[in-house]
Amino acid sequence: MTRASTLQVLEHAERHCSARGSRLTEKRRRVLAGLLESGRALSAYELLDFCRENLDVELLPMSVYRILEFLEGEGLVHRLNLTNKYVACSHIACDHEHELPRFLICGVCHRVKEVGFPRSLLSAIARTLEPAGFELASNQLELDCVCARCAARSRADL
């Protein structure tokens, strides 16, 4: 993400928080910028390192966890259960309602793509679980994948 587009997304996030009666403090802003600029899913400690190395920001681990919790509550970041990492919501700068989050996660490079699936697909999945005596614990769907770039590298290595 370019510096200009990161600034635009951060401005939108700031307006979003203000409209909800909360504040996007400077530290929260920097953590969100770290996720945006990294371009991939990061654990809290990876984010801590990224912010220190690329944004010249020193944060304590507990601060990063609290900030991520705040950003998640505001709908600005998503916690990926499959990898225990965080990713900036790809719809921060949108002004319209979105479907429930669905993520394609590359198990090799950890790149994440947030995509929209039809609600009917989630309903179909839920229906197939019922006979087995299970139900979805979350509407957030995460798929363990391999991105095209990593798949091509893998094929080239053969």
Q: pLDDT tens digits, residue range 16-60? A: 999 999 999 999 999 999 999 998 899 999 999 999 999 999 999
Q: Which pLDDT does position 111 carry in this prediction?
A: 85
pLDDT exceeds cutoff 80 at 3: no
Shared-domain flag, residues 66 and 45: yes
pLDDT, mean of residues 67-93 = 91
Q: Which residues are paired to 115 by β-bridges? A: 102
Q: Is the pTM of this model over 0.85?
A: no
How remote is the C-alpha of 51 from its chain's centroid? 16
Q: Are residues 90 and 123 in the same domain?
A: no
pLDDT in tens, 106-152: 888 888 888 887 878 888 988 999 999 998 888 788 999 999 999 99
CB 125 within 8 A of CB 140: no
Q: What is the C-alpha separation between 90 and 38, in angstroms, rounded? A: 13
Report the number of distinct structural domains present in the chain.
2
pLDDT band at residue 97 using 50, 70 and 90 as cut-offs = low
The domain spanning residue 121 has which CATH number?
3.30.1490.190
Pair 80, 131 in one domain: no
Nearest Cα neighbor of 9 from 41, 35, 45, 46 is 35
pLDDT of residue 96 exceeding 60, the answer is no
Domain match, 74 and 1 both: yes
